[in-house]
Amino acid sequence: MVRATFRFYEELNDFLPSERRQRAFDCECARAATAKHMIEALGVPHTEVELLLVNGESVGFGRLLADGDRVAVYPKFESLDISSLLKVRDQPLRRLRFIADVHLGGLARLLRMSGFDTLYDTHFDDQEIAETAARDGRIVLTRDRELLKRRLVDHGCYIRARKPAQQLRELFGRLDLAGSARPFSLCLHCNVPLRPIDREEARERLPSRIGCSYPRFMYCDSCRRLFWEGTHWRSMRALLAPLLEQLGGDPPP
Ligand SMILES: [Zn+2]
């Protein structure tokens, strides 16, 4: 029989029952269990794990556990550069694209507003989300840890916050999104690129009650919606500005 000792660090403890938090504990492992299998059996989705040490050595998820192994499991580090140690995934994602589960519609809109390609549809079920994420190389966003444990899901984020603005802040911090944000470049409804249009073209498309004095207009060729720099745009900009400044990205236009 294989017995290993586990210690989970930082917010990974949120997934454990209270008697296993912030301390080392012993656990019996199934025969030929991999580190990934055991971590998930203990309740922690593998997508939340960034670094895995077995007996002090950085290993991949596929490592078979042996009797007496000491397993230390770390989440994504916010500020410590550990890139040379990372071995759990072969390929980091280069381009950040997301797929949000049905409960994260508010976050999906805020991500699109920030310029991040984010699929969201209330009709997606968990299997479709997992398949689409695997096919397109998208990061799964969810508050459902079972979804993150699916075999097909390689990159995912368990969202802890409950309100969309806080969820956006959480994700920006966790994935360092500020540098890649392109505010007001995607349609909030269709997730496709917006096209800047001039005042003349906007004049033809604007509802008559709206003046034409706004400085910028963007148009969605898919849903034929026009976006202009009015009150709604400004309140969204106010929401984004602190995120971008705090994290060193460009201020929104
Ligand atoms: Zn659109």
What distance in Å separates the CA atoms of residue 207 and residue 229, rounded to the nearest whole number? 14
Q: Which of 74, 107, 137 is the last residue of a domain?
A: 74
In a domain, 83, yes or no: no
Based on the domain organization, do 236 and 134 belong to the same domain?
Answer: yes
pLDDT of residue 24: 93
Positions of the chain with pLDDT lower than 70, given as ranges: 77-95, 208-212, 246-253
Residue 37: give the domain boundaries: 2-74
* E strand or H helix at 195: strand 195-197
pLDDT of residue 81: 44
Residues with Cβ within 5 Å of ion ligand 1? 187, 189-190, 220, 222-223
In a domain, 79, yes or no: no
What's the angle, vertex CA 116, arms to CA 118 and CA 163, rounded to 5? 70
Based on the domain organization, do 26 and 99 belong to the same domain?
Answer: no
In a domain, 148, yes or no: yes
pLDDT of residue 211: 67
Based on the domain organization, do 123 and 186 belong to the same domain?
Answer: yes
In a domain, 82, yes or no: no
pLDDT of residue 240: 84
In a domain, 86, yes or no: no
Based on the domain organization, do 175 and 228 belong to the same domain?
Answer: yes
Whole-model pTM?
A: 0.72
Based on the domain organization, do 67 and 137 belong to the same domain?
Answer: no
In a domain, 84, yes or no: no
Based on the domain organization, do 47 and 126 belong to the same domain?
Answer: no
The count of structural domains within the chain is: 2
Which CATH number characterizes residue 28's domain? 3.10.20.30
pLDDT of residue 90: 53
24 contacts 42 by C-beta, under 8 angstroms: no
In a domain, 81, yes or no: no
Instruction: Measure 220 CA to ligand 1 centroid, in angstroms.
Output: 5
Instruction: Measure 240 CA to ligand 1 centroid, in angstroms.
Output: 21
The burial of 202, by beta-carbon neighbours within 10 Å (0-12 exposed, 13-18 middle, 19 or more buried), is given as buried
Based on the domain organization, do 104 and 66 belong to the same domain?
Answer: no
Instruction: Measure 224 CA to ligand 1 centroid, in angstroms.
Output: 6
- CA dihedral angle for residue 146, residue 124, residue 101, residue 191, rounded to 10 degrees: 150
pLDDT tens digits, one per residue of 161-174: 999 999 999 888 87
What distance in Å separates the CA atoms of residue 236 and residue 146, rounded to the nearest whole number? 32
Instruction: Measure 251 CA to ligand 1 centroid, in angstroms.
Output: 24
Q: Which of 46, 74, 102 is the last residue of a domain?
A: 74
pLDDT of residue 63: 94
pLDDT of residue 214: 77
Based on the domain organization, do 60 and 185 belong to the same domain?
Answer: no
pLDDT of residue 91: 52
In a domain, 247, yes or no: yes
